[in-house]
Structure 1
Amino acid sequence: MVQQLQPETTAGVIYPDSDGQPMADNTKQFRWIVTIKENLEILFATRDDVFVAGDLLWYPVQGDNKIRQAPDAMVVFGRGKGDRGSYRQWEENNIPVQVVFEILSPGNTLKEMAKKLQFYQRYGVEEYYVYDPDRIDFNGWLRVGNTLEVIEDIQGWISPRLGIRFDLNPTTLEIYYPDGRKFLTSVELSQKLEQESQRAEQERQQKESALTELEAERQRYQDLLQKLQQQGINPEEL
């Protein structure tokens, strides 16, 4: 059952902005966290009511700073964008985090992940996704009533909240925007923008060349017309 988060105010409680844990244990995990978080930012860039964050502490219960979790990436609908030191739910119109992503590293234990699942189930997460980039293993849970139930057929799954699609192949997980575009790393995105810029420049040069040739052809016509007129020949009478 999702806990009702309306405890009495406890004065003097400090809610740290850091739990002392690293964001990632290795480059692969870090790359996946950043890629998912940044692409979600892009996806909802025009929505002022969608908050996206990565490795941000979420405190669901006012007065208890021990109840907390820092999802690798999280999405909250109904809350404005902006910087935060932590997500203190009672200061956010009591809206819980709705979508969570966790990227596994070799240091994650089954006990740790089980506790995270219990936490997300208890405090209102609607969609929970876990990807292990070393084992190429992807799993998801969807809220049904008061529990998070395993998504049995995750291949090709489309997130109800986000509208993004997940495709798991033998070498990696691929995530697609609702319009079919693929989630890209910052390097891949930069390369794609550079390619598009080069293609646009080539098209501009081709158009410029075509216009130059057209102008040259027009000038040749005018020169020929002038020569004919100098010889007393009116082309319109031919």
Structure 2
Amino acid sequence: MVTALQFSGGKDSLACLHLFESEWDDIYVVWVNTGAAYPDVIEYMEEWRQVLPNFVEVKTDQPGNIAKYGWPADVVPINSTSIGRKLMSGDGPVIQDYLSCCGRNIWAPMQSAMKDLGATRIIRGQRADDSHKGPLKSGQLVDGVEYVYPLENWSEQDVFDYLRSVDAQIPSYYAKGEVTGRDCWDCTAYLEENVNRIQGLPDEKRVEMERRISLIDSAISSEWHGRSIIARSAP
């Protein structure tokens, strides 16, 4: 059996890492470096690289992906997508849906790494009360691979309580009210959860993020304006 633990450095995957400490010599701990991670995340992962016997870094090119497919957003105006730009004139930003962005830069590369490692047991920090989660349940077998979610029935408070009980090095950004990970500093999606993270960016980066989000809002409003006119004129 080949075991791989998918590690983002966030609280949930960190709790999984500590839960399986007795197996560190025998499991792969896999992190996806998107090329847009925060400097403190890079440092954090370097520290773990020195500790974990089988640390695997998967490198992707989020900046290149953004240049090709556009900024991620929670709502996507069709004419602003990469294919929409080929069909419609416009000088606004190119925009992609956030699921595609995460898929290209994190999820698909992680899954490819699992296949390359020959993993037959995959450990994830997914909880049943997560707002965003995959459809599988802990213990489920798919194509001969067992998916293990040790925190499936834990609450967020359970996770923090456990991490404190084992003196884990909890990332400092949680104390600032941030609830999302730091895979990409320039993520313009998940805005319902991302406000504190964006506001906590250094001034130059925060201003740039605010500029991008404003342009995305304008593109959405511009495209939706025509639809709202039709709706108002309907009998």
Please give the TM-score of this superposition, normalised by the length of structure 1.
0.27
Query: Which protein, 1 or 2, shows the higher relative CO under an 8 Å CA cutoff with sep ≥ 6?
Result: 2
Over alpha carbons, which structure has the higher Rg?
1
Larger helix percent: 2
TM-score by length of 2: 0.27
More strand by share: 1
